Amino acid sequence: MDATLPKSQDSSSRIFDERVLVLDFGSQYAQLIARRVREQNVYCEIVRHNISPERLLAHNPKGIILSGGPNSVYENGAPRCNPELLDLGIPVLGICYGMQLVCDILGGKVDSTPSREYGRARCHVTSHEDLFAGIPDETDVWMSHGDQVSRVSDDFAALAQTDTCPIAAVRHDTLPVYGLQFHPEVTHTTQGGTILHNFLTVVCGCEGTWHLGDFARETIERMRKQVGDGRVICGLSGGVDSSVTAALLHKAIGPQLSCILVNNGLLRKAEQEAVLAEFTNHFHADLHVVDAEDQFLSALEGVTEPQEKRRRIGHAFIECFKDEATKIEDARFLAQGTLYPDVIESGAAQDGPAATIKLHHNVGGLPDELGFELIEPLRDLFKDEVRKLGLELGLPEEIVWRHPFPGPGLAVRCLGEVTRDRLDVLREADAVVVEEIKAAGLYRQTSQAFAVLLPVQSVGVMGDARTYENAVAVRCVDTADFMTADWSHLPYDVLGRISTRIINEVKGVNRICYDISSKPPATIEWE
């Protein structure tokens, strides 16, 4: 933990001076757009599609991107932005639905067409200025639309076309407004990164001042000023989020940091021991361990409804944390490893677009209960950015690349009632999954791998005897930001070893299933 952050090339630069806003119209790619912009070293946030001009200007954006969406612009009740946003002089890029919307607002026409495009398409570029600077005449793009712009006003110029979409990209003659019918943010659009780069640099004038090293320095300095001579409590789980949060705080305030680990009985196999060993090796702060397994299992007795599980776990956690926190003198601040996807999915962002998807994210509850001032140094970052930051801070790779673990722990992987016996079965099965993924050299290539204990039993045969035992589902996904995910295409021999070992080694299991659903429509966790 003595790693020194690299010095900024420009110590006076402010990493949030260059900010681009994504107006979310319900696209499954909205978060991907934000990540692609950040990859260009420009800070990006997602906001509601109906944000007011006044709220938008308060962000001082260098550019605005209108996302895609599932609606048709001509439908009653279809989401729309305030038309005044197009007259602010801030560059605007509409993507898919976003392009259709700006063209509709500015005098064009959008129609449903029988020549719908889903998937790859060959795009012919007719103008190589601005967005398409450096793009070849022919390029592959990714389409996903049933409507398209059929006519634009005389103030627009077409920039590209496909065989079935004669207006695949547009530029307004007098306003800094652009549109793309295809999705530049997905990797299937081969020149998508260049197109976004052109919008950010050529059109918006961004220089790329968003760097994680600068972010870490400014965050450490900000926390140091915020805390002063006070003491901060940090909930430690051993995951990358809480570890990076603790590392930032340790660099900022050193001995003024106290950490609390609550063993709720819902941890993975040998989790507490691993956290204690890593904490001892990499941190030198005050650590409090609370053994609360009985309290949590008692609270979960007889409960099967997923949200009720989360509520009860959250309430029990608050009680345990509160009891331990009162023993720490002069503590005035609470640090949490909240990430940007947590803020989005919990509907907690002031200008954020999302309704609440999950309870028990690290986005509230404890500060109000305890009367602490909240510190969330990672709430502007995606998971991949947190991992990069952890490496910048000198955390070892085994912590930085550890697969995420949900706040409610194994309770949301133990479908049905949560009991001590069922948790023991799940722990052993889960340990086999992780061991085999690691043995195959796939742990870093996969993003999350775990077992799920199903609330069903199935007939089997072992040693010529009939069995009626538990079924376990194996879940393994690939993702960069955990907002969208695809199931991991594990080799059959790896799946075979996982199945054989669990059935042979974990008493009470006779059937293994592999989950091949993506997010969306499924979530990564089963509950």
Catalytic residues: 96, 183, 185
* Under 8 Å between Cβ of 316 and 336: no
387: left (phi over 0), alpha (psi -120 to 50) or beta: alpha
384: amino acid identity, one letter:
D
**Count of positions (residues) in the chain:** 527
Distances (CA, A) of 416 to 412, 422, 452, 507: 9, 10, 11, 19
The whole-angstrom separation of Cα 451 and Cα 454 is 10
- Element (DSSP H or E) covering residue 224: helix 212-227
d(CA 523, CA 520): 6
Distance, in Å, from the CA atom of 71 to the CA atom of 185, rounded to the nearest integer, reads 19
SS3 of residue 482 by DSSP: coil
Chain CA centroid to CA 493, Å: 31
* 120 bridge partner residues: 142
Question: Where does 257-328 have alpha helices with state H?
Answer: 271-282, 293-300, 306-325
Closest-CA residue to 136 (of 147, 126, 148) = 126
Helix (H) and strand (E) counts in the chain = 15, 18
- Of 152, 157, 196, nearest to 174 by C-alpha is 157
d(CA 446, CA 437): 9
